């Protein structure tokens, strides 16, 4: 027994001639006895408790070395020494460390040791260490909040059957862009879709199946935008998640995390419209290049984005209608809008070739013109005005909904009884003034302001 309680055993249980029980070999030069070992057998062993570390003698190039070979904490260790004495000292320390690692097992009760061995055996085919399995089990239990892990796994397996797991948000977004391009959607729509979803994908560099509704809600709240813009972002994200469901990246039978979120309710907002006199003042001051946008928006109710996609060949003055094709419409459905007599009077003198909107800067010029004559320009004011006066004229929410590309419920809720039939008659009686087509304005692109004839330059 050495000072630390360890023993060095010999190949033969008898003590050697030196009387040293720790010396376990008869190496030449130690007590003068010859070394006799069989091939592959250790020349010595060190023991500490139940731990045994063998020492082997190796010869190479006329040099003799002594090698230790043992397992420590599940890893195979090999160490080489030039003298047997040095190898014995290291072997004794190794045996002590091995025994120390077994001590906890030795302190366990028999049934605990059996449970440990069984757990290790069950995990062996997976290659997962016992401690890792326990850590993952505890973490899963905490995330599930008391729901049995097996029940959760069975439910997930049922929902995920046939799913393609691990597809990241950015990859789904790129597939969506490609799909929409193939469907022939407008360049403007694709640009808006990419702008919204690439920002979202940049902040969610994870599989789309990992994104949770509260994370989407937090992301939207941090945008610092109006409730209308926030709802628009949510609508875009819903398109992404709906596409992911169709592609089997999300469970088919479940409501998506994006669809589970409600839109922001901004409360009742008063619908702002122009009076017939206000709109007549703007039209009568407008130069010919701005007339198509003003007249078509005010007397046909077509959205700004739809007018931007409109070509003159979709406007048939002889048959009296404007065709908004599915690829041009916001709702992706074709609709026909009748041309009123006064709208025909505004459009007939114009050069009706190519796109209706020949310069996107015309929209800025229109709002600047309105401000120049002292009339504020609320958002979507011409579309709101058309719907309000049209429903007063035809007294049918269903008909106006078809013409405007909206739902009858929205038409009835937001536009009914805003105007009278008499006011509607005045609206649809606005005609070009004498000398209308000679109008000019001066527009400053730097300040986005308009100067009317006779006004000093600003």
Encode pLDDT of 430-446 as tens digits. Answer: 999 999 999 999 998 88
CA distance linking residue 52 with residue 334, whole number of Å: 86
pLDDT level of residue 413 (50, 70, 90 thresholds): low
The answer on pLDDT for 247 being more than 70 is yes
Q: Quick check: pTM over 0.75?
A: no
d(CA 234, CA 56): 72
Contact 243, 179 (CB under 8 A): yes
Averaged pLDDT, 73-93: 86
Do 276-451 and 169-246 have the same topology in CATH? no
3-state secondary structure 395-452: CCHHHHHHHHCCCHHHHHHHHCCCCCHHHHHHHCCCCCCCCHHHCCCEEECCCCEEEC
CATH class of domain segment(s) 276-451: mainly alpha
pLDDT band at 190 (very low <50, low <70, confident <90, very high): confident
Task: Delimit the domains of the chain by residue range.
Answer: 1-107, 111-160, 169-246, 276-451
Q: What is the mean pLDDT of the chain?
A: 81
Residues 236-265, mean pLDDT to the nearest whole number:
88
pLDDT tens for each residue of 345-374 = 999 999 999 999 999 889 999 999 999 999
Q: Which CATH number fits domain 169-246: 2.60.40, 1.20.1050, 1.10.150, 3.40.1130?
A: 1.10.150
User: What gap in Å lies between CA 7 and CA 179, rounded to an integer?
Assistant: 76
- The answer to whether the beta carbons of residues 287 and 295 sit under 8 Å apart is no
State the burial class of residue 8 (Cβ atoms within 10 Å of its Cβ: 0-12, 13-18, 19+): buried
Could you give phi then psi for residue 176, rounded to 5 degrees? -65, -45
Greater pLDDT, 144 or 163: 144
CA dihedral 336, 338, 339, 341 (to 10 degrees): 170
pLDDT, greater one: 22 or 441? 441
Mean pLDDT: which of 59-68, 133-142, 161-170, 381-390 is highest? 381-390
Please give the structure tokens belonging to residue 279.
Answer: 């709109």
Instruction: Tell me the average pLDDT across 226-233.
Output: 82
pLDDT band at residue 327 using 50, 70 and 90 as cut-offs: low
pLDDT score recorded for residue 137? 86
| Greater pLDDT, 319 or 115 | 319
């Amino acid at each position: 027994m050495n000072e630390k309680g360890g023993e060095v055993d010999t190949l033969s249980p008898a003590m050697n001639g030196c009387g040293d029980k720790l010396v376990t070999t008869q190496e030449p030069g130690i007590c003068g006895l010859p070394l006799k070992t069989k091939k592959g057998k250790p020349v010595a062993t060190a023991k500490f408790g139940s731990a045994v570390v063998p020492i082997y003698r190796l010869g190479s190039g006329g040099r003799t070395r002594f090698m230790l070979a043992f397992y420590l904490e599940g890893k195979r260790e090999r160490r080489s020494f030039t003298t047997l004495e040095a190898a014995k000292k290291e072997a004794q320390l190794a045996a002590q460390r091995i025994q120390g690692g077994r001590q906890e097992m030795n302190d366990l009760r028999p049934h605990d040791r059996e449970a440990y061995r069984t757990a290790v055996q069950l995990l062996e085919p997976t290659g997962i260490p016992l401690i890792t399995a326990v850590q993952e089990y505890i973490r899963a239990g905490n995330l599930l909040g008391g729901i049995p892990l097996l029940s959760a796994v069975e439910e997930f397996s049922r929902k995920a059957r046939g799913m393609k797991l691990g597809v990241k948000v950015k990859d789904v977004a790129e597939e969506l862009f490609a799909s929409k391009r193939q469907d022939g959607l407008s360049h403007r729509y694709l640009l808006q879709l990419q702008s919204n979803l690439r920002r979202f994908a940049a902040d969610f560099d994870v599989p789309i199946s990992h994104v949770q509704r509260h994370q989407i809600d937090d992301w939207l709240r941090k945008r610092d935008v109006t409730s209308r813009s926030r709802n628009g972002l949510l609508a875009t994200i819903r398109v992404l998640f709906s596409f992911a469901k169709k592609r089997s990246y999300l469970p088919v039978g479940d409501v998506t995390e994006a669809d589970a979120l409600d839109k922001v309710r901004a409360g009742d907002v008063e619908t702002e419209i122009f009076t017939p006199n206000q709109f007549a003042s703007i039209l009568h001051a407008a130069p010919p290049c701005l007339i198509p946008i003003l007249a078509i928006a005010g007397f046909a109710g077509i959205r700004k984005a739809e007018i931007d996609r409109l070509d003159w060949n979709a406007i048939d003055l002889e048959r009296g209608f404007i065709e908004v094709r599915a690829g041009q419409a916001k709702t992706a459905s074709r609709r026909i809008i009748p041309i009123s007599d006064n709208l025909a009077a505004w459009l007939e003198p114009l050069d009706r070739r190519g796109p209706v909107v020949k310069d996107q800067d015309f929209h800025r010029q229109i709002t600047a013109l309105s401000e120049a004559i002292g009339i504020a320009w609320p958002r979507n004011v011409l579309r709101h005005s058309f719907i309000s006066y049209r429903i007063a004229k035809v007294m049918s929410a269903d008909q106006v909904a078809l013409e405007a590309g909206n739902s009858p419920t929205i038409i009835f809720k937001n536009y009914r009884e805003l105007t009278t039939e008499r006011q509607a008659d005045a609206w649809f009686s606005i005609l070009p003034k004498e000398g209308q087509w000679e109008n000019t304005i001066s527009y400053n692109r730097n300040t986005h302001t308009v100067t009317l004839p006779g006004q000093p330059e600003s």
